[in-house]
Structure 1
């Protein structure tokens, strides 16, 4: 608890400097970010941060604490944010949250993600559950891409998919519910494929037994 208080005391003392980070020179931004990370590492080296600046002058600056998907440190993030102080014009958030743009995804008007030579639209990604692990309550899934045969299974492509999935379902849900992700070309028979933006809805509406039966039935349709 002492380390938690030490971190938040430092944030309170320097919150105005951090709020003005976006207006600083690149050199000063790097310096301020270094000290935020340094003080955060005194509490837990495996936790990182993101700062989201408000779009309007009267909006709140958001400090997001993330475990980078490492479930071993989820409780560290939760404990830290649970003990955050009440600061005017500040919002403290545990984990990277899903983007609130499902309507855009459903209409297919979302902006594409561009990773080097790879361009992907989240609204075009589909998935199929393969296996449900009863002990961990996690699922293995296959994510289908229209141009998988063109891109092939590169590290960049895998990282791109995880970034998109994290944007869609949020950090905590992604790493608490997904065990393994396989990538594949969209099959000729697309019956039963689920839009990736419906992943959380899929989990919310099926229990473990139903998941296993569903997996066996739907996986057979595209193999």
Structure 2
């Protein structure tokens, strides 16, 4: 608890400077980033952070604390946010939350992701379940990608799919529900495949049936 209080006391003392980050010089921005990471590391070195700056002056700046998907540190994230102070211009969030707009994806109007030589939209991705582990309550899936054979850089594709799925499910849901992802090229006949944007609905359905 002492380390939690130490972090938040420091944050409160410096919150105006952090909030003004975008108006600082590059040198000052680097120093601010260093000190946030350093102070957070004093509490738990495995945690990380993101700051979402508002588009409108009336909106709050958001500090997101993340375990980078490592479930061993989920409790540390929750505890830290649980004891966050109430600050007028700040919002504190545990874990990276789903950020995409499903309606746009369903209509094919979602913005493409660009990863090095790869450009892909979530609306172009489909999946099928491979197996469900009753013990861990986790799902193995195969993800079908457009032009996968043409740009077959497995590492880049894996990173891309991880980011896209995190945007869809959020950090905690992704690591609590998905165990293994296999990549494959999108076949000509896709009638039997499931849209990736329906993945959370599919997970919720499995969990509901498993409980009942």
Q: TM-score, normalised by structure 1?
A: 0.91
Note the alpha carbon deviations across 1:189-222, whole angstroms, 9 max, x for none.
3222111111111111224877xxxxxxxxxxxx
> Which is further off, 188-197 or 108-117?
188-197
Residue correspondence of structure 1 range 89-104 to structure 2 within 5 A: 89-104=89-104
Runs ≥4 residues deviating over 2 A: 206-210
Q: 1:43: which partner in 2?
A: 43
Cα pair distance change 1:208/1:136, threshold 3 Å: farther
Alpha-carbon separation, structure 2, partners of 1:116 and 1:67: 25
Note the alpha carbon deviations across 1:173-201, whole angstroms, 9 max, x for none.
00110001110011233222111111111
Cα pair distance change 1:45/1:147, threshold 3 Å: same
* 2:81 is aligned with 1:81: yes
Note the alpha carbon deviations across 1:59-105, whole angstroms, 9 max, x for none.
10000000001011011101111111100010000010001411111
Q: 2:203: which partner in 1?
A: 203
**Matched residue SS, 1:150:** coil
Q: 2:193: which partner in 1?
A: 193
* 2:26 is aligned with 1:23: no
Alpha-carbon separation, structure 2, partners of 1:209 and 1:8: 41
| Structure 1: unaligned runs, 5 residues or longer | 211-223
Q: Please tell me the root mean square deviation across aligned C-alpha atoms, in Å.
A: 1.3
State the Cα distance separating 1:151 from its structure 2 match: 1.2
Residue correspondence of structure 1 range 112-191 to structure 2 within 5 A: 112-191=112-191
Number of equivalenced pairs: 210
